[in-house]
Chain A
C-alpha cells in the first residue's frame, strides 16, 4: 500500500482515538458534541442560551451550507453517517440528540 495512503488512515485512527469511546455516549455528551460543532461552524453565535426544543434555524443564523457542515463534522469527528433524507432530523437540539443516540452507540472505531 502506498505511503500516503497509510498516513491518511493513520490520521483518521488518531483522530478517532482522541475522541474516546462513543459506545458510551450519553445524551448529555452528544449534546455537548453538537454544541462543540456548532461553535466551530458559527463562532460568533452565543450558544449558552440555546433552547433545545426550538429549531436551530429559528434561534441562530444557519443556512443550508451550515447544515451540511453539521453532517460533515459528525462524519469527520465521530464517523457517523447521516443520509440526506435524514437531514430534517437535525432541526433542533432535541431531535438531533434523539436521532443520534442510537447511531452514536453503534459507532465502533
Chain B
C-alpha cells in the first residue's frame, strides 16, 4: 500500500497503480463538471469500488439498471487493492482467497459468485495452497484444502477430542448463514461446551480470528462457522497474478454491462428528503441523484454521511487493525526451508485477540504467508522473487498519534521487531531480504476510510443490510461477510435482496 508518510513522490509514475489494461480509464473518472444529465436519477448509487461494491455493481448493471459506482480513492479494490513501489508489484491484502472449491463444484460461496456474476471458473485462475500450519509452542496442526488432513491432525494431537471434533463438524455444516440470533452466540462458549480443551479451542480460533474476526477476545458463533467453512472445509487459493486479476475481471465485466465507475469521487453526504435518500453529495459539492444507495463504506461511516443523523456512536466502530510487513527475498522461500503457504503462530497457549494495550503492536501472534507457495501447476513458473508477508496486530490510535519523524522511525523498528518475532516459527529469512515494504493502521485508514483502519469492520454486523432509511443499504464488511469472497458474496446478496426485487 502506498503510504502517505513514506512516499512524498505520491504521484510519481512508478506509483500510478493502474496497469492501463487493468482498469481502462474512463472519461467519467476525471473531475469534469457534471452535465445536466446528472439530474436523471440512477437506479442505484453504490458507494465504494471494493470487492463488495464491484460485485453488487455487476449484478445490477447486468439487469439493466443504471448504476454508478463512486470511489473516493484513485483506484479500485479498497481493502484489497494493489500498488507498485520500487518497480515491484504488490497486493495490499491478498494472502489467500478463501472458500476455494475445485472446478465443477456446485456448492459453496465461490461457485455461487461465479454463477451470479456469470464468470467461468477459469476466469479467476485460482491455484490451491500447498499446506498451512497453526503453530503454538506445545504443538502444531497442519491443514490443507482437504478437511481429512486437519481431522487426522486433531486426532493425533488431541486424541481424546476425536468424537467432539466430529460433533463440531456437524454443527458447522448445519449452521444457517443469515440468522441473526444464532449468529450472535459466543463462539468461545460454544467451543468450551463442545471441545473443552482450551489449547485446541485457541488453535482453531487463531486462524479463524485472524482471517475474519472484527470482535475483540471472542468471536460470534456465526462468524466462526462461516470462517471455519471458508478456511477448513473449503480452502485457500490464489491467482498467479494476485488480486489484480480478480479486480480486472470485475471491473471489465462491470464496464461492459454499461456500469459507470467514477474514481476520485468521494461521497461526503447522503442527501435525505422526506425520510428517504434522494442521492449523494460528492466531496467537491456536486450532487448525484438516485433511487437508492448501497454503501460499502461501513455502517458507522455510512450513518455519518446521512444528513439526518447527527452523531452516530463512534464506539460501534471496530478496533482490530494490523501492520503488514512485506519482505522480498533473493530466492524462493522453499530454498530456505519455508514450504508452508500460510503459518498462523502464537507464542503461548493463551491466545489474545485484542488491540495492543501498551505498545504500537502486539507481536505474540501473527500470520505469515508466502504467495510463492501455491501449487500454480503446469505452465507457470514460480513468482520471480520470493515474498514473505507478515501481518501483526496493531493499534490504530497509537500509530495515529505519532508525528512524522517518529512514525518513520517506528515503522523501521516494528518491521524489524515483527520479523524477529516471526522467525521463531519459520526459517530465518532475514539474510536474503532485498527489499521491504510495510504499512500500518493509518495507511489502511487513509486508503479505505474505514474508522480505525479496522480491517474487518464493526464488531456488530448488520446481516440484513438495512439502515434507518428505507432506500439506503449496507454491503461488504459491515453487513457481515468479510474477506474477498465474503465481500463479493455480500455485494451480490444485498443487490439481490434490496436493489433488484422492487424494480
Q: Give every chain B residue within 8 A of A72 (Cβ-Cβ).
A: 63, 500
Q: Are B66 and A4 in contact (CB under 8 A)?
A: yes
CB distance from A1 to the nearest CB of B (A): 8
Q: Considering the chains assembled together, what is the distance between the CA atoms of A43 and B103 in angstroms?
A: 12
Q: Are A8 and B66 in contact (CB under 8 A)?
A: yes
Pick out which of these stretches binds chain B: A21-29, A48-56, A60-68: A60-68
Assuming the contacts A2-B39, A3-B37, A72-B63, asked whether A84 and B501 have C-beta atoms less than 8 A apart, the reply is yes
- Give A15's nearest chain B residue, CB to CB: B64
- Give A81's nearest chain B residue, CB to CB: B503
Q: Considering the chains assembled together, what is the distance between the CA atoms of A95 and B115 in angstroms?
A: 24
- Give B106's nearest chain A residue, CB to CB: A61
Assuming the contacts A2-B40, A3-B37, A5-B40, asked whether A12 and B64 have C-beta atoms less than 8 A apart, the reply is yes
B120 interface residue per 8 A CB criterion: yes
CB distance from B42 to the nearest CB of A (A): 10
Residues 67-105 of A contacting B (Cβ, < 8 Å): 68-69, 72, 75-76, 84
For B479-497 the 0/1 string (1 means CB < 8 A from A) is 0000000000000110010
Q: Considering the chains assembled together, what is the distance between the CA atoms of A1 and B40 in angstroms?
A: 9
A11 interface residue per 8 A CB criterion: yes
Assuming the contacts A11-B258, A43-B120, A76-B64, asked whether A66 and B36 have C-beta atoms less than 8 A apart, the reply is no
B107 interface residue per 8 A CB criterion: yes
Q: Considering the chains assembled together, what is the distance between the CA atoms of A12 and B66 in angstroms?
A: 12
Q: Considering the chains assembled together, what is the distance between the CA atoms of A75 and B503 in angstroms?
A: 10
- Give A3's nearest chain B residue, CB to CB: B37
Q: Give every chain B residue within 8 A of A69 (Cβ-Cβ).
A: 115-116
Q: Are B40 and A63 in contact (CB under 8 A)?
A: no
A44 interface residue per 8 A CB criterion: yes
Q: Considering the chains assembled together, what is the distance between the CA atoms of A65 and B106 in angstroms?
A: 13
Q: Give every chain A residue within 8 A of B492 (Cβ-Cβ).
A: 65
CB distance from B457 to the nearest CB of A (A): 23
Q: Are A44 and B40 in contact (CB under 8 A)?
A: no
Which residue in B36, B104, B500 is a CB contact (below 8 Å) of A44?
Answer: B104
CB distance from A48 to the nearest CB of B (A): 17
- Give B38's nearest chain A residue, CB to CB: A2
Assuming the contacts A11-B64, A11-B258, A72-B500, asked whether A42 and B115 have C-beta atoms less than 8 A apart, the reply is yes
A41 interface residue per 8 A CB criterion: yes
Q: Considering the chains assembled together, what is the distance between the CA atoms of A12 and B258 in angstroms?
A: 12
Q: Give every chain A residue within 8 A of B36 (Cβ-Cβ).
A: 2
For A1-20 the 0/1 string (1 means CB < 8 A from B) is 11111001001100000000
B118 interface residue per 8 A CB criterion: yes
Q: Give every chain B residue within 8 A of A5 (Cβ-Cβ).
A: 37, 40
Q: Are B63 and A66 in contact (CB under 8 A)?
A: no
CB distance from B32 to the nearest CB of A (A): 15
Q: Are A44 and B106 in contact (CB under 8 A)?
A: yes
B417 interface residue per 8 A CB criterion: no
CB distance from A17 to the nearest CB of B (A): 15
Residues 102-133 of B contacting A (Cβ, < 8 Å): 104, 106-107, 112, 115-116, 118, 120
Q: Are B37 and A41 in contact (CB under 8 A)?
A: no
Q: Are B496 and A41 in contact (CB under 8 A)?
A: no
Q: Give every chain B residue within 8 A of A41 (Cβ-Cβ).
A: 115
A40 interface residue per 8 A CB criterion: yes
Q: Are B63 and A76 in contact (CB under 8 A)?
A: yes
Which residue in B39, B116, B120, B258 is a CB contact (below 8 Å) of A65?
Answer: B116
Q: Are A2 and B37 in contact (CB under 8 A)?
A: yes
- Give A64's nearest chain B residue, CB to CB: B496
- Give B59's nearest chain A residue, CB to CB: A72
- Give B42's nearest chain A residue, CB to CB: A4
Q: Considering the chains assembled together, what is the distance between the CA atoms of A66 and B291 in angstroms?
A: 25
Q: Considering the chains assembled together, what is the distance between the CA atoms of A8 and B258 in angstroms?
A: 9
Which residue in A4, A12, A75 is a CB contact (below 8 Å) of B40?
Answer: A4
Q: Give every chain A residue within 8 A of B120 (Cβ-Cβ).
A: 43
- Give B496's nearest chain A residue, CB to CB: A68
Q: Considering the chains assembled together, what is the distance between the CA atoms of A72 and B63 in angstroms?
A: 7
Q: Are A68 and B500 in contact (CB under 8 A)?
A: yes
Beyond known contacts A44-B106, A65-B493: 19 more, CB 8 A cutoff: A1-B40, A2-B37, A2-B39, A4-B40, A5-B37, A8-B66, A11-B64, A42-B106, A42-B115, A44-B104, A63-B112, A65-B492, A66-B115, A68-B501, A69-B115, A75-B63, A76-B62, A76-B63, A76-B64
Nearest 8 CB-CB pairings of A with B: A61-B106, A2-B37, A2-B40, A5-B40, A72-B63, A68-B496, A76-B63, A44-B104
Sample 17 A-B pairs with CB under 8 A, ordered by A number: A5-B37, A8-B66, A8-B258, A12-B64, A41-B115, A42-B106, A44-B104, A61-B106, A65-B112, A65-B492, A66-B115, A68-B501, A69-B115, A69-B116, A72-B500, A76-B63, A76-B64
| Contacts from B to A (Cβ < 8 Å) | 36-37, 39-40, 62-64, 66, 104, 106-107, 112, 115-116, 118, 120, 258, 492-493, 496, 500-501, 503
